[in-house]
Amino acid sequence: MEILVFLKGLVIGFSIAAPVGPIGVLVIKRTLSQGRIYGIVSGVGAASADAVYGLIAGLGLTFITKFFIEHQFWFHLAGGTFLCYLGIKIAISKASENPAQVQGQNLFGDYASVFFLTLTNPMTILSFVGIFSGLGLSQANEGSVVTLVLGVFIGSGIWWLILCFVVGLFKESLKKQTLIWINRLSGLIIFLFGIYSFWGLLH
């Protein structure tokens, strides 16, 4: 029985992570410009945030869900502001043909930034609540919830591993000038996601 719960979590985590939004663009950019390890760590940040939201939805913690929904204006504002800042920073950053040297502090920053960005999207928790309710997984016993959330985390992580591996295959064939334009384009896309987030606040 628990294996079925785990597999459901695996599918849910993979499905939630797969659509390419600002997080996907950011992970792709970091994989191309800094190397696979940076992209993977960023992906783990997103998977961790998905697991947190999955845990909230799985335990039926409606008061936390209500908090995120009631304060979604401020979450959108914070997320949009950070996306705009990140987009500008990426667009004007210098490109290198060699992956950056792996440093613990940089890796933690990459992890934390994606974790924060994923958490600032309250619609994610609504997705989990809807999926869990539809599959009859909401308010399950604690053991099943842990198994489910583990599946969500691993499922999401599998998507990011696949994405980083595939994108990393193109890294060797890219020249510095190409990486510069990738920085500019990905920065612009992330910035536009930030503007779109602000636009959503007006509606």
CA 190 to the chain's CA centroid: 13
What is the model's pTM?
0.75
Tell me the residue range of the domain where 15 lies. 2-201
Token representation of residue 99:
């992956």
pLDDT digits (tens, 9 = 90+) for 108-125: 888 988 898 888 876 676
pLDDT digits (tens, 9 = 90+) for 16-63: 888 778 888 889 888 888 888 999 999 999 999 888 888 877 776 656
Domain count, the chain: 1
Distance (Å, rounded) from C-alpha 132 to C-alpha 125?
10
Beta strands per DSSP E along 9-124: none
pLDDT digits (tens, 9 = 90+) for 134-144: 666 555 555 67
Distance (Å, rounded) from C-alpha 44 to C-alpha 160?
7
DSSP for 94-115, written as a single string = ---SSPPPP-HHHHHHHHHHHH
